[in-house]
Chain A
Amino acid sequence: MTLTTDPVALNDWYPVAGLGAAPGRTLLLGQEIEIDGAAVRRTDTGAALATREKWGLLFASFGAPEREIFDMAEAAEPDRRFVPCGWFTLRASPLRIVENFLDMAHFPFVHTGILGDEPHTEVPEYRSEIRRDVDEVWATNCTFFQSQIAATESAGDFVQLSYRVPTPFSVVLYRVCPSAPDRLDAIALLMQPMTEVLTRAIPLMWLVDDRSSHTELVRFEQVIFLQDKIIVENQRPLRLPLEPRAEIPTRADGSSIAYRRWLKEKGLRFGTTAGAPLAGTA
């Protein structure tokens, strides 16, 4: 296991531990690192990594990122409930996890009875774009019929969603809040890319919800996330192909097409089929 040489992946921020976590070792971009308090070092050379603290997490970078960690305006709103949902290791490329998070077409089949139901499988037309001014991918005007859109709701309805990909290894969902229709719930999924095909994913939520218990909110997100786990772990090839004709998209895959195009423009190789050869696998 060695550190990737991909400059795009090296020059970004990644969560590596919760603040105040016990000292320990983990992997980042193929390299073993050691975390002790707020200090992060490579275990092979002892070199220190740049670090930041945000949202209760410790972030690190091997390189010199041009940008700071992206902002979540919702994090500054005092009446929001901040719900960190834990760290989950998946045997999948972080890019596959982002792409799955962007996908609505699987809701009725994977999250049956929660985010969708089998008679209501249509993905209504939505808009996806690469926003050049902020260098992010967005999918907007998304709607989908969901049978239980949030922990507070029991009846089904069309949910209004927007998706934002602020960095190649993170993705945010904004959902019109069922109990306060003039506001948006924000659900972010951050990645710690351990290797090209092993990822720790960290779901964080900033919600407008004064009814559900903390345990109910965490449970709702974790159940959905674990349902997704077996889907992304079984996708082949393991890493995300960026060649336009490698897989056949449909109109519902507009956000995925924009995301892959954006990654290709950036020249990202880590976690894609253009990355370093994997030992004994696709």
Chain B
Amino acid sequence: MSVPVLWTYDLDEACYAARLTAALAGAEVTLRAVDVVPGAETGSAAFRALSPMGRVPVLVDGKVVLTQTEAILTDLARRGERGAALLPDTPEALDWLIFAARDLSAAGRARAAALFGTGDARAAGEARAALLVLEDRLTAQGLRGAGFVAGNTPGVADLALFPGFALSRDWGLGHEAFPALRLWARRIRMLPGFVGMPGLPAFP
């Protein structure tokens, strides 16, 4: 398999999820930095020719171009030598992956508003509600003896959900009210090959 190019912005949480998945799966990628803030490169005609919605991350391998974060994470898991176990191969794993894409995407908008002034500050309430649902899920998983969102082992869904919780302090939501998520985040941090991102505290 050839080495794909991952178009990424260091401060973006979806790009971080992609770099994290590549690192945990052991998938080789060539990183290409995109000047999102302040350059607005994602809005340029050249970038939109690659990614019509003007979003990062983008994963390019020859003629195959992936622009949806969850598809990118799944593809990176498929490529890595340690990635097979991460693949969302149960209905629940897929369900929580879509939860990350749909419901928890509010966290990204809230963070962009707080940090760059570009997102939607009203998304904070929506994001908090989604994190409470996730907290309940991880609590229930704990009672079943499962440490991750859809099983005993981490999957792409966990990695897609992780940045939305881990970076919530950026938009003013502390972690005090989320004990199950704190333990879950700690388990993710301890995975071999874990990488952080700027703004992610080194302490859990």
Residue ranges of A at the interface with B (Cβ–Cβ < 8 Å): 18, 84-89, 91, 200, 214-216, 218-219, 222-227, 229-230, 233
Residues on A with C-beta less than 8 A from B38 are: 18, 84-87, 218
Flag if A89 contacts B11 (CB, 8 Å): no
Q: Known contacts A226-B11, A230-B169; is A218 also within 8 Å of B198 by CB?
A: no
Q: How far is the CB of B135 from chain A (nearest CB, A)?
A: 22
A83, B76: Cα distance in complex, Å: 34
Flag if B41 contacts A226 (CB, 8 Å): no
Most chain A CB atoms below 10 A, which of B172, B198, B199: B198
Interface size on B, residues (CB 8 A): 20
Residues on A with C-beta less than 8 A from B116 are: 86-89
Query: Which B residues from 146 to 188 make CB contacts under 8 A with A?
Result: 169-170, 172
Contact count A vs B, C-beta below 8 Å: 53
Residues on A with C-beta less than 8 A from B11 are: 222-223, 226
Q: B39 is contacted by which of A18, A89, A215 (Cβ under 8 Å)?
A: A215
> What mask results when residues 181 to 204 of chain B are scored 1 for a CB within 8 Å of chain A, else 0?
000000000000000001111000
* Closest partner residue, chain B, to A229 (CB atom): B199
**B34 at interface by CB-CB < 8 Å:** yes
DSSP majority for the B interface?
Answer: loop
19 additional A-B pairs beyond A215-B35, A229-B199, beta carbons within 8 Å, are A87-B38, A89-B114, A89-B115, A89-B117, A91-B172, A214-B39, A215-B33, A215-B41, A216-B33, A219-B35, A222-B37, A222-B198, A223-B10, A223-B11, A224-B198, A225-B198, A226-B198, A230-B169, A233-B169
Residue ranges of B at the interface with A (Cβ–Cβ < 8 Å): 10-11, 33-35, 37-39, 41, 114-117, 169-170, 172, 198-201
Residues on B with C-beta less than 8 A from A215 are: 33-35, 39, 41
Residues on B with C-beta less than 8 A from A89 are: 114-117
A18, B114: Cα distance in complex, Å: 18
Q: How far is the CB of A66 from chain B (nearest CB, A)?
A: 31
* Closest partner residue, chain B, to A219 (CB atom): B33
Name 9 interchain pairs, CB-CB below 8 A, sorted by A. Answer: A89-B114, A89-B116, A215-B33, A215-B39, A226-B10, A226-B11, A226-B199, A227-B198, A230-B169
